[in-house]
Structure 1
Amino acid sequence: MLENYYRELVSFLSARLGNAQAAEDVVHDAYVRVLERTAAEPIEQPRAFLYRTALNLVIDGHRRNTLRQIEPLDVLDTEERFFSPSPQVLIDHGQRLEMLQRALAELPAACRDSFLLRKLEGLSHLEIAERLGVSRSVVEKNIVNAMKHCRVRIRMWDNA
Protein backbone atom coordinates (compact mmCIF):
# COMPACT_ATOMS: atom_id res chain seq x y z
CA MET A 1 0.00 0.00 0.00
CA LEU A 2 2.78 2.46 0.90
CA GLU A 3 4.60 1.63 -2.34
CA ASN A 4 1.83 3.49 -4.22
CA TYR A 5 3.14 6.81 -2.88
CA TYR A 6 6.82 6.31 -3.68
CA ARG A 7 7.09 8.18 -6.98
CA GLU A 8 4.64 10.82 -5.86
CA LEU A 9 6.74 11.56 -2.78
CA VAL A 10 10.01 11.54 -4.75
CA SER A 11 8.52 14.07 -7.20
CA PHE A 12 7.23 16.21 -4.35
CA LEU A 13 10.63 16.29 -2.61
CA SER A 14 12.59 16.69 -5.85
CA ALA A 15 10.69 19.89 -6.57
CA ARG A 16 11.47 21.23 -3.11
CA LEU A 17 15.07 20.07 -2.85
CA GLY A 18 16.05 20.59 -6.47
CA ASN A 19 17.84 17.25 -6.46
CA ALA A 20 16.16 13.98 -7.46
CA GLN A 21 18.88 11.78 -5.96
CA ALA A 22 18.70 13.53 -2.58
CA ALA A 23 14.91 13.18 -2.71
CA GLU A 24 15.21 9.43 -3.36
CA ASP A 25 17.55 9.06 -0.39
CA VAL A 26 15.14 10.89 1.91
CA VAL A 27 12.21 8.80 0.65
CA HIS A 28 14.17 5.57 1.27
CA ASP A 29 14.87 6.63 4.83
CA ALA A 30 11.24 7.70 5.34
CA TYR A 31 9.97 4.34 4.08
CA VAL A 32 12.26 2.46 6.43
CA ARG A 33 11.09 4.52 9.40
CA VAL A 34 7.43 4.09 8.49
CA LEU A 35 7.79 0.37 7.83
CA GLU A 36 9.52 -0.10 11.16
CA ARG A 37 6.79 1.78 12.96
CA THR A 38 3.87 -0.04 11.29
CA ALA A 39 4.95 -3.25 12.99
CA ALA A 40 4.44 -1.61 16.39
CA GLU A 41 1.11 0.12 15.81
CA PRO A 42 -1.22 0.73 12.85
CA ILE A 43 -1.09 4.08 11.08
CA GLU A 44 -4.50 5.57 10.32
CA GLN A 45 -3.35 7.83 7.46
CA PRO A 46 -0.25 6.21 5.94
CA ARG A 47 0.18 8.73 3.11
CA ALA A 48 0.12 11.73 5.45
CA PHE A 49 2.40 9.95 7.93
CA LEU A 50 4.88 9.09 5.16
CA TYR A 51 4.94 12.70 3.91
CA ARG A 52 5.39 14.08 7.44
CA THR A 53 8.22 11.62 8.10
CA ALA A 54 9.97 12.60 4.86
CA LEU A 55 9.60 16.32 5.55
CA ASN A 56 10.95 15.85 9.08
CA LEU A 57 13.99 14.08 7.62
CA VAL A 58 14.55 16.99 5.22
CA ILE A 59 14.30 19.48 8.09
CA ASP A 60 16.69 17.44 10.25
CA GLY A 61 19.18 17.23 7.38
CA HIS A 62 18.94 20.98 6.80
CA ARG A 63 19.55 21.69 10.50
CA ARG A 64 22.60 19.41 10.54
CA ASN A 65 24.03 21.09 7.44
CA THR A 66 23.39 24.56 8.87
CA LEU A 67 25.18 23.68 12.10
CA ARG A 68 28.15 22.31 10.17
CA GLN A 69 28.42 25.48 8.10
CA ILE A 70 28.54 27.84 11.08
CA GLU A 71 31.04 25.86 13.14
CA PRO A 72 34.47 27.53 13.02
CA LEU A 73 37.06 25.69 10.97
CA ASP A 74 39.70 25.91 13.67
CA VAL A 75 37.42 23.91 16.02
CA LEU A 76 36.93 21.26 13.37
CA ASP A 77 40.65 21.12 12.70
CA THR A 78 41.68 20.65 16.32
CA GLU A 79 38.93 18.16 17.17
CA GLU A 80 38.95 15.97 14.08
CA ARG A 81 42.67 15.84 13.49
CA PHE A 82 43.28 14.25 16.87
CA PHE A 83 40.19 12.08 17.01
CA SER A 84 41.04 8.43 17.23
CA PRO A 85 38.20 5.97 17.82
CA SER A 86 38.56 3.73 20.83
CA PRO A 87 39.23 0.03 20.29
CA GLN A 88 35.68 -0.73 21.47
CA VAL A 89 34.21 1.65 18.85
CA LEU A 90 36.30 -0.04 16.15
CA ILE A 91 35.11 -3.48 17.31
CA ASP A 92 31.47 -2.28 17.34
CA HIS A 93 31.80 -0.90 13.80
CA GLY A 94 33.36 -4.14 12.62
CA GLN A 95 30.58 -6.20 14.17
CA ARG A 96 27.90 -3.99 12.61
CA LEU A 97 29.57 -4.28 9.22
CA GLU A 98 29.67 -8.06 9.60
CA MET A 99 25.96 -8.11 10.51
CA LEU A 100 25.16 -5.94 7.49
CA GLN A 101 27.09 -8.28 5.21
CA ARG A 102 25.22 -11.30 6.66
CA ALA A 103 21.86 -9.57 6.21
CA LEU A 104 22.69 -8.62 2.61
CA ALA A 105 23.77 -12.20 1.89
CA GLU A 106 20.28 -13.38 2.87
CA LEU A 107 18.63 -11.25 0.19
CA PRO A 108 17.81 -12.38 -3.34
CA ALA A 109 20.53 -11.31 -5.77
CA ALA A 110 18.41 -8.69 -7.58
CA CYS A 111 17.41 -7.07 -4.31
CA ARG A 112 20.97 -7.03 -2.98
CA ASP A 113 22.37 -5.75 -6.28
CA SER A 114 19.83 -2.90 -6.46
CA PHE A 115 20.72 -1.85 -2.91
CA LEU A 116 24.49 -2.00 -3.45
CA LEU A 117 24.38 -0.17 -6.78
CA ARG A 118 22.41 2.63 -5.14
CA LYS A 119 24.23 2.91 -1.82
CA LEU A 120 27.80 2.07 -2.84
CA GLU A 121 27.99 3.22 -6.44
CA GLY A 122 25.44 6.04 -6.20
CA LEU A 123 23.55 5.04 -9.33
CA SER A 124 20.08 6.47 -9.90
CA HIS A 125 17.07 4.19 -9.95
CA LEU A 126 16.85 4.53 -13.72
CA GLU A 127 20.54 3.60 -14.16
CA ILE A 128 20.09 0.56 -11.92
CA ALA A 129 16.97 -0.49 -13.81
CA GLU A 130 18.83 -0.28 -17.11
CA ARG A 131 21.85 -2.15 -15.79
CA LEU A 132 19.78 -4.97 -14.25
CA GLY A 133 17.19 -5.10 -17.02
CA VAL A 134 14.21 -4.49 -14.73
CA SER A 135 11.68 -1.72 -14.29
CA ARG A 136 12.33 1.32 -12.16
CA SER A 137 9.51 0.37 -9.78
CA VAL A 138 11.14 -3.04 -9.19
CA VAL A 139 14.40 -1.26 -8.31
CA GLU A 140 12.54 1.04 -5.90
CA LYS A 141 10.82 -1.88 -4.18
CA ASN A 142 14.06 -3.87 -4.02
CA ILE A 143 15.92 -1.02 -2.32
CA VAL A 144 13.17 -0.39 0.24
CA ASN A 145 12.90 -4.12 0.95
CA ALA A 146 16.68 -4.45 1.34
CA MET A 147 16.84 -1.55 3.78
CA LYS A 148 13.96 -2.92 5.81
CA HIS A 149 15.44 -6.43 5.87
CA CYS A 150 18.86 -5.19 7.00
CA ARG A 151 17.43 -3.05 9.80
CA VAL A 152 15.20 -5.86 11.04
CA ARG A 153 18.01 -8.43 11.02
CA ILE A 154 20.57 -6.14 12.67
CA ARG A 155 18.07 -5.20 15.36
CA MET A 156 17.31 -8.89 15.90
CA TRP A 157 21.01 -9.79 16.17
CA ASP A 158 21.68 -6.83 18.48
CA ASN A 159 19.02 -8.13 20.88
CA ALA A 160 20.23 -11.72 20.76
Structure 2
Amino acid sequence: MGVLTFSDSGPATGGAPETATETPAADWRADAPRFDALVSRYRRPLLRFFRRRSVGVEDAEDLTQEVFMRLSRRFSNLHWSNPDGLVFTVASNALVDHERQRRVRQHERHVEVDPALPADEPSAETALAGRQRLQRLVAALEDLHPNTRSVFVLCRFENLTQAQAAKRLGLSQSAVEKHMMNALARLRQVIEAPNDA
Protein backbone atom coordinates (compact mmCIF):
# COMPACT_ATOMS: atom_id res chain seq x y z
CA MET A 1 0.00 0.00 0.00
CA GLY A 2 1.43 3.36 -1.02
CA VAL A 3 1.77 6.44 1.12
CA LEU A 4 1.27 9.90 -0.33
CA THR A 5 3.67 12.56 0.86
CA PHE A 6 3.57 16.21 -0.09
CA SER A 7 6.41 18.62 -0.12
CA ASP A 8 5.74 22.27 0.67
CA SER A 9 7.23 23.30 -2.68
CA GLY A 10 4.24 22.32 -4.85
CA PRO A 11 2.53 19.37 -6.50
CA ALA A 12 3.61 15.86 -5.69
CA THR A 13 5.90 14.34 -8.25
CA GLY A 14 4.11 11.01 -8.25
CA GLY A 15 7.41 9.23 -7.63
CA ALA A 16 7.66 5.76 -6.17
CA PRO A 17 5.89 5.69 -2.79
CA GLU A 18 6.93 3.71 0.19
CA THR A 19 4.89 0.58 0.69
CA ALA A 20 3.50 -1.02 3.82
CA THR A 21 5.79 -4.02 3.35
CA GLU A 22 8.88 -1.81 3.31
CA THR A 23 7.86 0.27 6.36
CA PRO A 24 6.77 -1.11 9.74
CA ALA A 25 3.17 -0.28 10.64
CA ALA A 26 4.09 2.25 13.33
CA ASP A 27 6.47 4.10 10.95
CA TRP A 28 3.93 3.99 8.12
CA ARG A 29 1.35 5.89 10.21
CA ALA A 30 3.97 8.47 11.11
CA ASP A 31 4.81 8.99 7.40
CA ALA A 32 1.16 9.14 6.21
CA PRO A 33 0.21 12.49 4.63
CA ARG A 34 -1.98 14.88 6.47
CA PHE A 35 -5.45 15.15 5.02
CA ASP A 36 -5.37 18.94 5.18
CA ALA A 37 -2.37 18.87 2.82
CA LEU A 38 -4.49 16.93 0.32
CA VAL A 39 -7.31 19.45 0.64
CA SER A 40 -5.06 22.48 0.20
CA ARG A 41 -3.33 20.95 -2.84
CA TYR A 42 -6.42 19.74 -4.73
CA ARG A 43 -9.24 22.13 -3.76
CA ARG A 44 -8.66 24.69 -6.53
CA PRO A 45 -7.86 22.14 -9.26
CA LEU A 46 -11.05 20.26 -8.37
CA LEU A 47 -13.14 23.42 -8.53
CA ARG A 48 -11.68 24.18 -11.98
CA PHE A 49 -12.30 20.57 -13.04
CA PHE A 50 -16.00 20.83 -12.18
CA ARG A 51 -16.46 24.36 -13.53
CA ARG A 52 -14.97 23.31 -16.90
CA ARG A 53 -17.70 20.69 -17.06
CA SER A 54 -20.46 23.33 -16.82
CA VAL A 55 -21.15 22.76 -13.14
CA GLY A 56 -22.42 25.84 -11.28
CA VAL A 57 -20.27 27.47 -8.59
CA GLU A 58 -22.29 26.12 -5.67
CA ASP A 59 -22.48 22.62 -7.12
CA ALA A 60 -18.74 22.71 -7.86
CA GLU A 61 -18.10 23.52 -4.20
CA ASP A 62 -20.42 20.71 -3.12
CA LEU A 63 -18.78 18.24 -5.48
CA THR A 64 -15.31 19.22 -4.29
CA GLN A 65 -16.41 18.56 -0.72
CA GLU A 66 -17.90 15.26 -1.85
CA VAL A 67 -14.56 14.21 -3.35
CA PHE A 68 -12.78 14.97 -0.09
CA MET A 69 -15.46 13.10 1.87
CA ARG A 70 -15.04 10.04 -0.31
CA LEU A 71 -11.27 10.21 0.02
CA SER A 72 -11.40 10.72 3.77
CA ARG A 73 -13.50 7.58 4.29
CA ARG A 74 -10.75 5.38 2.84
CA PHE A 75 -7.77 7.70 3.19
CA SER A 76 -5.46 5.31 5.00
CA ASN A 77 -6.37 2.38 2.73
CA LEU A 78 -5.86 4.05 -0.65
CA HIS A 79 -2.89 3.46 -2.93
CA TRP A 80 -1.30 6.82 -3.64
CA SER A 81 1.19 5.91 -6.37
CA ASN A 82 -0.67 8.32 -8.72
CA PRO A 83 -2.37 10.91 -6.50
CA ASP A 84 -3.63 13.05 -9.40
CA GLY A 85 -5.17 10.03 -11.09
CA LEU A 86 -6.79 8.89 -7.85
CA VAL A 87 -8.22 12.28 -6.90
CA PHE A 88 -9.60 13.02 -10.37
CA THR A 89 -11.01 9.49 -10.77
CA VAL A 90 -12.95 10.06 -7.56
CA ALA A 91 -13.97 13.49 -8.92
CA SER A 92 -15.21 11.94 -12.19
CA ASN A 93 -17.25 9.38 -10.27
CA ALA A 94 -18.73 12.12 -8.07
CA LEU A 95 -19.67 14.09 -11.19
CA VAL A 96 -21.38 11.06 -12.75
CA ASP A 97 -23.36 10.51 -9.54
CA HIS A 98 -24.26 14.20 -9.39
CA GLU A 99 -25.57 14.16 -12.99
CA ARG A 100 -27.54 11.00 -12.32
CA GLN A 101 -29.18 12.57 -9.25
CA ARG A 102 -29.92 15.75 -11.21
CA ARG A 103 -31.66 13.74 -13.94
CA VAL A 104 -33.70 11.84 -11.35
CA ARG A 105 -34.78 15.12 -9.70
CA GLN A 106 -35.79 16.55 -13.08
CA HIS A 107 -37.72 13.40 -13.94
CA GLU A 108 -39.54 13.55 -10.59
CA ARG A 109 -40.52 17.17 -11.28
CA HIS A 110 -41.76 16.27 -14.78
CA VAL A 111 -45.53 16.03 -14.89
CA GLU A 112 -46.97 13.99 -17.69
CA VAL A 113 -50.06 15.40 -19.32
CA ASP A 114 -53.08 13.17 -19.06
CA PRO A 115 -55.09 13.51 -22.28
CA ALA A 116 -58.26 12.79 -20.28
CA LEU A 117 -57.80 16.01 -18.27
CA PRO A 118 -59.73 19.02 -19.54
CA ALA A 119 -57.65 21.62 -21.30
CA ASP A 120 -57.13 25.02 -19.65
CA GLU A 121 -58.41 26.71 -22.78
CA PRO A 122 -62.13 26.42 -23.53
CA SER A 123 -63.12 24.54 -26.64
CA ALA A 124 -64.31 26.47 -29.69
CA GLU A 125 -67.90 25.40 -28.97
CA THR A 126 -67.70 26.58 -25.35
CA ALA A 127 -66.20 29.93 -26.41
CA LEU A 128 -68.91 30.41 -29.04
CA ALA A 129 -71.68 29.56 -26.56
CA GLY A 130 -70.20 32.03 -24.08
CA ARG A 131 -70.09 34.81 -26.68
CA GLN A 132 -73.69 34.12 -27.68
CA ARG A 133 -74.85 34.16 -24.05
CA LEU A 134 -73.02 37.47 -23.50
CA GLN A 135 -74.72 38.96 -26.57
CA ARG A 136 -78.13 37.87 -25.22
CA LEU A 137 -77.35 39.42 -21.82
CA VAL A 138 -76.29 42.73 -23.38
CA ALA A 139 -79.45 42.76 -25.51
CA ALA A 140 -81.56 41.97 -22.42
CA LEU A 141 -79.88 44.80 -20.49
CA GLU A 142 -80.64 47.23 -23.32
CA ASP A 143 -84.29 46.12 -23.31
CA LEU A 144 -84.71 46.86 -19.59
CA HIS A 145 -86.54 49.95 -18.40
CA PRO A 146 -83.96 52.77 -18.10
CA ASN A 147 -84.30 52.98 -14.28
CA THR A 148 -84.00 49.18 -13.96
CA ARG A 149 -80.92 49.17 -16.17
CA SER A 150 -79.35 52.09 -14.22
CA VAL A 151 -79.96 50.39 -10.86
CA PHE A 152 -78.41 47.15 -12.12
CA VAL A 153 -75.37 48.89 -13.61
CA LEU A 154 -74.75 50.98 -10.48
CA CYS A 155 -75.11 48.05 -8.08
CA ARG A 156 -73.36 45.35 -10.09
CA PHE A 157 -70.76 47.18 -12.15
CA GLU A 158 -70.00 50.22 -10.00
CA ASN A 159 -70.42 48.31 -6.71
CA LEU A 160 -72.77 50.85 -5.11
CA THR A 161 -75.12 49.75 -2.37
CA GLN A 162 -78.83 49.95 -3.08
CA ALA A 163 -79.05 52.96 -0.75
CA GLN A 164 -76.27 54.73 -2.67
CA ALA A 165 -77.95 53.91 -6.01
CA ALA A 166 -81.27 55.21 -4.68
CA LYS A 167 -79.65 58.47 -3.61
CA ARG A 168 -77.85 58.90 -6.94
CA LEU A 169 -80.98 58.17 -9.03
CA GLY A 170 -83.35 60.09 -6.75
CA LEU A 171 -85.45 56.99 -6.11
CA SER A 172 -86.66 55.37 -2.91
CA GLN A 173 -84.74 52.39 -1.63
CA SER A 174 -87.79 50.13 -2.08
CA ALA A 175 -88.04 51.23 -5.74
CA VAL A 176 -84.37 50.39 -6.24
CA GLU A 177 -84.94 46.95 -4.66
CA LYS A 178 -87.85 46.29 -7.06
CA HIS A 179 -85.82 47.43 -10.09
CA MET A 180 -82.94 45.18 -9.01
CA MET A 181 -85.27 42.16 -8.60
CA ASN A 182 -86.79 42.80 -12.04
CA ALA A 183 -83.33 43.11 -13.67
CA LEU A 184 -82.08 39.88 -12.06
CA ALA A 185 -85.25 37.98 -13.01
CA ARG A 186 -85.00 39.09 -16.65
CA LEU A 187 -81.28 38.30 -16.93
CA ARG A 188 -81.81 34.90 -15.28
CA GLN A 189 -84.46 34.11 -17.94
CA VAL A 190 -81.97 34.99 -20.68
CA ILE A 191 -79.18 32.87 -19.16
CA GLU A 192 -81.44 29.85 -18.63
CA ALA A 193 -83.04 30.04 -22.07
CA PRO A 194 -81.85 27.46 -24.64
CA ASN A 195 -79.19 28.68 -27.10
CA ASP A 196 -81.50 28.57 -30.09
CA ALA A 197 -84.17 30.67 -28.36
TM-score (normalised: structure 2) = 0.37
Higher alpha-carbon Rg: 2
Between Structure 1 and Structure 2, the one with more helix by share is 1
Of structures 1 and 2, the one scoring higher in RCO (CA 8 A, sep 6+) is: 1
